[in-house]
């Protein structure tokens, strides 16, 4: 038996307080404050990004929409094996790669457009 | 086949999962390597983790089984699973990360400022997660039964117990490394045997794959032949729409994006994910094709899903076949474990968030796993394996409109979102449930209900748009701020 | 068999074409020409037009100078209408739709006060009027708003907004040159004015003293420490009330500990365990650093000669759990309770109280500090941070 008991810990928490609600989006207030002008800038960015996404998606939809018909018309198992088993994946990655480049370029262009904007 | 090797392989995978989960933390004992520990996850590690979590039992076993039974048309499944990530990249990846949301309910609340929408989305997320968990557990049951002759309930019980225990013991303190490890394990477990199998096929004089369609229904293979035979072209389009648009809403997919440090790296991560899962999906068709040659009778016995597991023994045999078979079994278990643990964590995350009082994540984990486990045990024999396809269709008709419109359309309102979720997701859910109950006569009604995505996705979008336009006064005041946050590049924050 | 191969080619053909299309789109022809590219020609035209607008503006902002300049400036921007105003009235309107000039001064009133760009729809009743949207930019000299430049367009355009801003700045420079004799540019005010110290003067003094002690013996180390110190203070001096990410906060803690170790060397051992998936979690700025500071203080206080601090940040589903534990002197639980009630305490207690209050304020009462301690028993502080909370976004 030890002469001096090892010091024990006790759990302590503060008492509940009435919670004051946090104002929404405080960190974003500066962007919020840009009002109509800030909105015009942001909308132009959103439009350009949406255009990039839709372009790539249209391409994908075209392929996915026509391939089943083509397969049904051809009735060739080899074609299906080749296209779906091997060809599709590099193409999907290629589209993704193109989109990312385009989206990042849009963001760079937007940053250039906005930088040097007179400080509010 | 020797049971010992397979049991050892499965045990090793389970142990490695638990150990890496426990030691996957970055530990530094001096302040000098503090920086390394406080560095966020890079795109490549994160992409491997996302892929590891995504490649489930349906990918590892199901595709080869489907190809064995139904032929190469079934290759639309892996293409759809991959293309789903492309669509996710195009419309969701970067804005979702920038929204700061951890789960889909978070996203709904942050964008629409409505607790009602949040709760509804939570219900859908939990439902979709459970639907997706059931086939993972059943796949584990099938694997163990085939390899060791164990009873059907053992596999689900093992996976459920490992996942729950690992989380409960605090063993999954860091899941990124586990999932990344499991991606590479799964790839190896399919690639190495595939090489040997192809060599064996060449030795055999390279017989060509028969193009005929043997009859039979695989048990695990997702969304089986229900309605396919009637109108295969329509079924293919239903499959394309569901997988292309459904991926973005799967609960375990969404939470993974939180780990990316910012929107730009979320995008780059997704490209790497596409390459990784695309590379993986080159392999299951090989098994499917060889299965048509060497194990075609599996489609008759209803064990088509076991193709991947049985081929090494069939084609190579001996100790070599046993060892390769054990490697595949280990990979299959990695597939069940990674997807199941990812889903369990995601569902438990939503459960804890919904009842803010629940302080014990472990309790939520138990609940998140108990219900699908019960589902897997009770519904053996019923084609519940359709649940994966069902989860995709429901996700595509509910979460896809919510995410796409929420991110790109400023006039979305809470009533619109609720209407879209209920009409789109709800109708898809009902359609597939009715089909599974077997009460629908064959022909067009059956096909339409078995493959709902073609009509339920437009219904979801339309309902969301029309009701939103009808309730312009309900546009959330913070819409502009939220949209700005979603799209503004990090450099300008 | 050859039939099947042909079929495969027919199907693959569109795929290859499509791939080629994607690749072809990427590689833009970059022409070089001795007579100038289109971009260069556009630049020349812009510079020429600008040079024509400059002389009138050098006479200051009057009706006559504005009229002459407005014509050139409108060409420069390529808009349907352009207007220049001073503080009270419209000076010149160039282009169509001058029926808008009547209401213009009301529309730019706010801008003349604040000097902030403004965009607004024209809300024109005339359906044939092409002017649907306008951007107004202040013309400033010496931080005073002299007037405004307003550009009109058929639809909103971020490009026009930016271009109008640039032109207005160029005009402002011309006006500034005109006023050069009368006005003097003011000195740029020091930014330090706005900085508020979050860290104790003691810490700054001790750190600098420690760094100074290395200057002769180990200048390279002293230099590194000085950089750490600069980084740390830069982070700590950021605007308050903001949010940060766990990665940034931990990085700052690392710099803090490097400075502490410069003083105490081997007496302090720190172990860090981080689950990488919680690093992007957003949390209130400087809410962990005071806890670490506290742990250091307790660890090195009194008779304790060596101290070990463990900091862990673990993934717990929808939350991150951060634990900071030391084996130092600890604290009497009763005293800690009264500190957390806000009933006074030493500086370290104030730090705990401050963090506890901010966490409860941001995340609710369920997320206050949980502290396990006893006199002589060390201290373990647990912080739980939700991965998502509306309104909390790390920057």
Q: Do B25 and C275 touch (CB under 8 A)?
A: yes
User: Is residue B160 in some structural domain?
Assistant: yes
Q: Which residues pair with C133 in a beta bridge?
A: C121, C153
Residue in chain C closest to B114 (alpha carbons) equals: C390
State how far residue A1 is from chain C, nearest Cα, in angstroms.
19
Distance CA(C291)–CA(C382), nearest Å, equals 10
User: Are C340 and A12 in contact (CB < 8 Å)?
Assistant: yes
Closest-CA distance, C304 to chain B, in angstroms, reads 20
Residue B431 confidence (pLDDT): 87
Residues of B with CB below 8 A from C162's CB? none
From B251's Cα to the closest Cα of chain A, the distance in A is 22
Residue B437 in contact with partner chain C when CB distance is under 8 A: no
In this complex, the chains that touch A, judged by 3 or more CB pairs closer than 8 A, are: B, C
Percentages helix, strand, coil for chain B, rounded to the nearest 5? 80, 0, 20
The answer to whether C61 touches C147, Cβ cutoff 8 Å, is yes
Residue A61 falls inside a structural domain? yes
Residue by residue, pLDDT tens for chain B (493 residues) are 457 888 888 888 888 877 777 666 666 666 556 666 667 788 888 899 999 988 887 788 888 888 888 788 889 989 999 999 999 999 999 999 999 888 899 999 999 989 899 999 999 998 888 888 888 888 888 778 877 777 878 888 888 888 887 766 654 567 788 888 889 999 999 999 999 999 998 888 778 776 554 444 443 443 344 445 567 888 889 889 999 999 998 888 888 888 888 899 999 999 999 999 999 999 999 998 898 888 877 776 667 778 888 888 888 878 888 889 889 988 888 888 888 888 888 888 888 777 654 456 677 888 888 888 888 887 655 444 456 777 889 999 999 999 999 999 999 999 999 999 999 999 998 888 787 776 777 778 878 888 899 999 999 999 999 999 999 999 998 888 889 889 988 877 6
The number of domains in chain A is 1
Mutate which of C11, C139, C153, C381 to disrupt the A interface (most A C-beta within 10 Å)? C11
* Cα dist from C260 to C190, C295, C296, whole Å: 30, 12, 8
In a domain, A96, yes or no: yes
Q: Nearest CA of chain A to the CA of B263: how many Å?
A: 11
List of chain C residues whose C-beta atoms are within 8 Å of the C-beta of residue B126: none
Chain C CB contacts of A23 below 8 Å: 391
| Helix H or strand E encompassing C137 | strand C133-141
* Shortest Cα distance, chain B CAs vs residue A29, angstroms: 8
Q: Which chain B residues are Cβ-neighbours of C251 within 8 angstroms?
A: 34-35, 38
Nearest CA in chain A to C328: A7
Q: Return the pLDDT at B231.
A: 77
User: In a mutagenesis test of the A interface, which of B70, B72, B240 is the best target, namely the one with the most A β-carbons within 10 Å?
Assistant: B72
Number of domains in chain B: 1
Residues of A in contact with B264 (CB under 8 A): 104, 107
- Chain A CB contacts of C169 below 8 Å: 118
A93 contact B CB<8A: yes
The answer to whether the Cβ–Cβ distance between B359 and C247 falls below 8 Å is no
User: Searching chain A, which residue's CA lies closest to the CA of residue B479?
Assistant: A32
Q: Which chain C positions have a beta carbon within 8 Å of B262's beta carbon?
A: 280
- The minimal CB distance from A93 to the residues B73, B209, B278 is found for B278
Query: Hey, is the C-beta of B353 within 8 angstroms of any chain C C-beta?
Result: yes
| A56 half-sphere exposure, CB direction, 13 A CA radius | 27
| Stretch (H or E) spanning C216 | helix C201-217
Chain A residues touching B85 at Cβ < 8 A: 96
pTM of the model: 0.76
Q: Judge whether A22 lies within some domain.
A: no
Q: Are A33 and A120 in contact (CB under 8 A)?
A: yes
Residue B426 included in any domain: no
CA distance C115 to A119: 9
Residues of the domain holding A98: 35-114
Size of interface A-C (CB pairs under 8 A): 166
Say if A25 falls within a structural domain: no
Please state the length of chain C.
Answer: 395
pLDDT for residue A15 is more than 60: yes
Q: Chain C contact for A59, CB < 8 A?
A: yes
> Least CB-CB distance to B82: which of A24, A38, A92?
A92
B278 to chain A, closest Cα gap in Å: 5
Is residue A12 in a domain? no
Longest Cα pair distance anywhere in chain C, in angstroms? 91
Q: Which 15-34 residues of chain A touch chain C by CB within 8 A?
A: 15-17, 19-20, 22-28
Q: Do C376 and A66 touch (CB under 8 A)?
A: no
* Two structure tokens written together for C347: 């500086």
- The whole-number pLDDT of residue B230 equals 65
Q: Which of B83, B268, B488 sits opposite A42 (nearest CB)?
A: B488
Contact B103 C282 (CB under 8 A): no
Domain-embedded: residue A1: no
Specify whether the backbone of B40 is left (phi greater than 0), alpha (psi in -120 to 50) or beta.
beta
CA quadruple C344, C346, C352, C354: dihedral sign: positive
- Among C363, C339, C338, residue whose Cα is nearest residue C290: C339
The pLDDT of residue A102 = 95
Instruction: Give ∠ CA B58-B59-B64 in degrees, rounded to 5.
Output: 90
What residues in B contact A69, CB-CB < 8 Å? 233
Residues from chain C that touch A117, judged by Cβ atoms under 8 A, are 117, 162, 165
3-state secondary structure of B475: coil
Residue whose C-alpha is closest to residue B254's, from B417, B145, B68, B100: B100
CA distance B179 to B55: 10
Write out the residue range of the structural domain in which residue B347 sits: 3-26+39-383
User: Residue C127's pLDDT is what?
Assistant: 80
Rounded (5°) CA angle B146-B152-B158:
95
Cβ distance of C270 and B31 shorter than 8 Å? yes
* Domain presence at residue B45: yes
Domains recognised in chain C with CATH numbers: 40-178 (3.30.450.40), 196-386 (3.30.565.10)
In a domain, B470, yes or no: no
Please judge whether A26 and C14 are an interchain contact, meaning their C-beta atoms are less than 8 angstroms apart: no
Cβ of residue C50 closer than 8 Å to a chain B Cβ: no
Q: Which residues of chain B lie closer than 8 angstroms to A49, CB-CB? A: 487
Give every residue of chain C whose pLDDT is below 70, as ranges: 1-36, 142, 179-202, 238-242, 302-304, 344-348, 394-395
Of A20, A63, A76, which is closest to C18 when you measure between CB atoms?
A63
**Interface touch A45/B481, C-beta < 8 Å:** no
Partner-chain residue, chosen from B113, B176, B361, that has the shortest CB–CB distance to C317: B361
Q: CB–CB of B176/B49 below 8 Å? A: yes
In a domain, A103, yes or no: yes
**Chain A residues closer than 8 Å to B244 by CB:** 60, 64
**For position B365, what pLDDT does the model report?**
81
For residue A29, the model assigns a pLDDT of 42
Would you say residue A3 lies in a domain? no
Domain with residue B118: its CATH number is 1.20.1730.10
* Closest chain C residue to the Cα of A89, Cα to Cα: C15
Shortest distance between the Cα of C330 and any Cα of chain A, in A, equals: 9
Burial class (CB in 10 A: 0-12, 13-18, 19+), B188: middle
Residue A110 has pLDDT above 80, yes or no: yes
Distance from CA of A51 to the nearest CA of C (A): 15
Contacts of B86 in chain A (CB under 8 A): 56, 60, 92, 95-96
The encoded tokens of residue A24 equal 């929404």
A1 touches chain C (CB under 8 A): no
């Amino acid at each position: 038996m030890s002469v001096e008991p090892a010091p024990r810990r006790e759990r302590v928490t503060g008492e509940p307080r009435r919670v004051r609600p946090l104002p929404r989006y405080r960190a974003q207030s500066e962007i919020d404050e840009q009002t109509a002008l800030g909105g015009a800038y942001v909308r132009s960015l959103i439009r350009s990004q949406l255009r990039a996404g839709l372009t790539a998606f249209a391409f994908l939809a075209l392929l996915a929409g026509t391939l089943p018909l083509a397969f049904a018309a051809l009735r060739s198992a080899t074609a299906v094996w080749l296209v779906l088993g091997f060809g599709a994946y590099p193409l999907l990655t290629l589209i993704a790669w193109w989109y990312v480049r385009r989206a990042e370029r849009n963001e760079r262009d937007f940053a250039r457009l906005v930088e040097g904007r007179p400080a509010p | 086949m020797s049971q010992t090797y397979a049991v050892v392989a499965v045990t090793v995978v389970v142990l490695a999962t638990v150990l890496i989960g426990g030691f996957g933390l970055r530990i530094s004992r001096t302040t000098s390597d503090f920086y390394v520990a406080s560095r966020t996850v890079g795109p490549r590690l994160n992409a491997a983790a996302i892929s590891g979590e995504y490649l489930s039992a349906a990918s590892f076993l199901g595709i080869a089984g489907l190809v064995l039974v139904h032929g190469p048309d079934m290759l639309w499944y892996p293409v759809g699973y991959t293309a789903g990530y492309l669509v996710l990249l195009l419309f969701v990846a970067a804005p979702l990360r920038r929204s700061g949301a951890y789960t889909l309910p978070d996203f709904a609340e942050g964008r629409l400022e409505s607790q009602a929408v949040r709760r509804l989305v939570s219900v859908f997320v939990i439902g979709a997660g459970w639907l997706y968990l059931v086939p993972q557990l059943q796949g584990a049951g099938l694997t163990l039964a085939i390899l060791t002759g164990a009873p059907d309930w053992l596999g689900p019980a093992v996976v459920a117990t490992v996942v729950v225990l690992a989380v409960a013991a605090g063993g999954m303190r860091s899941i990124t490394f586990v999932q990344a490890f499991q991606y590479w394990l799964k790839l190896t477990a399919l690639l190495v045997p595939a090489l040997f199998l192809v060599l064996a096929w060449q030795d055999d004089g390279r017989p060509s794959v028969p193009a005929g369609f043997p009859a039979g229904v695989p048990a695990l293979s997702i969304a089986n032949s229900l309605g396919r035979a009637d109108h295969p072209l329509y079924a293919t389009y239903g499959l394309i729409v569901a997988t292309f648009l459904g991926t973005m809403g799967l609960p375990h997919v969404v939470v993974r994006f939180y780990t990316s440090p910012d929107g730009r790296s979320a995008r780059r991560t997704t490209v790497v994910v596409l390459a990784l899962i695309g590379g993986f999906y080159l392999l299951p068709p090989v098994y499917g094709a060889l299965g048509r040659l060497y194990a075609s009778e599996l489609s008759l016995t209803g064990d088509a899903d076991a193709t991947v597991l049985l081929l090494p023994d069939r084609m190579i045999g001996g100790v070599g076949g046993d060892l390769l078979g054990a490697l595949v079994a280990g990979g299959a278990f990695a597939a069940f474990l990674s997807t199941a643990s990812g889903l369990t964590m995601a569902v438990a995350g939503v459960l804890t968030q919904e009842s803010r009082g629940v302080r014990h994540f472990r309790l939520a984990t138990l609940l998140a796993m108990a219900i699908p486990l019960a589902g897997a045990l009770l519904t053996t024999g019923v084609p519940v394996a359709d649940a994966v396809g069902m989860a995709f269709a429901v996700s595509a008709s509910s979460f896809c409109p919510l995410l796409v419109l929420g991110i790109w359309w400023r006039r979305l309102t809470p009533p619109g979102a609720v209407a879209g979720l209920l009409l789109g997701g709800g109708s898809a859910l009902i359609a597939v449930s009715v089909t599974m109950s077997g009460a629908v006569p064959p022909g067009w009604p059956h096909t339409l209900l078995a493959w709902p995505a073609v009509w339920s996705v437009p219904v979801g979008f339309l309902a969301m748009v029309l009701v939103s336009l009808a309730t312009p006064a309900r546009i959330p005041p913070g819409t502009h701020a939220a949209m700005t946050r979603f799209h503004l590049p990090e450099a300008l924050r | 068999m050859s039939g099947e191969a042909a079929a495969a080619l027919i199907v693959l053909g569109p795929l290859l074409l499509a791939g080629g299309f994607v690749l072809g789109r990427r590689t833009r022809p970059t022409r070089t020409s001795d007579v100038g590219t289109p971009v260069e020609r556009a630049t020349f035209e812009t510079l020429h037009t600008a040079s024509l607008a400059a002389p009138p503006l050098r006479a200051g902002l009057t009706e006559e100078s504005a009229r002459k300049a407005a014509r050139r400036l409108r060409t420069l921007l390529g808009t349907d209408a352009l207007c220049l105003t001073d503080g009270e009235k419209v000076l010149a309107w160039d282009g169509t739709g001058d029926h808008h000039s009547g209401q213009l001064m009301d529309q730019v009133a706010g801008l003349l006060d604040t000097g902030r760009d403004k965009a607004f729809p024209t809300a024109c009743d005339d359906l044939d009027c092409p002017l649907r949207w306008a951007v107004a930019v202040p013309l400033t000299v010496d931080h005073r708003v002299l007037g405004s430049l307003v550009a009109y367009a058929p639809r909103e355009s971020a490009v026009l907004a930016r271009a109008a801003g640039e032109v207005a700045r160029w005009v402002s420079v011309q006006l500034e040159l005109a006023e050069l004799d009368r006005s003097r540019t003011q000195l740029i005010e020091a930014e330090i004015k706005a900085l508020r110290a979050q860290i104790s003067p003691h810490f700054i003094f001790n750190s600098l003293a420690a760094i100074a002690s290395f200057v002769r013996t180990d200048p390279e180390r002293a230099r590194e420490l000085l950089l750490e110190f600069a980084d740390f203070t830069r982070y700590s001096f950021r605007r308050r009330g903001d949010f940060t990410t766990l990665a940034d906060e931990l990085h700052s803690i690392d710099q803090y500990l490097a400075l502490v170790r410069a003083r105490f060397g081997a007496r302090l051992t720190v172990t860090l365990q981080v689950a990488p998936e919680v690093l992007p979690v957003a949390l209130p700025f400087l809410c962990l650093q005071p806890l670490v500071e506290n742990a250091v203080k307790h660890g090195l206080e009194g008779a304790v000669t060596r101290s070990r601090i463990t900091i862990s940040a673990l993934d717990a589903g929808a939350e991150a759990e951060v634990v900071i534990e030391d084996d130092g002197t600890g604290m009497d639980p009763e005293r800690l309770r009264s500190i957390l009630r806000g009933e006074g305490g030493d500086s370290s207690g104030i730090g705990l109280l401050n963090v506890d209050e901010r966490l409860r304020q941001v995340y609710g009462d369920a997320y206050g500090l949980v502290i396990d301690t006893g006199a002589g028993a060390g201290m373990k502080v647990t912080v739980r941070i939700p991965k998502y909370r509306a309104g909390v976004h790390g920057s």
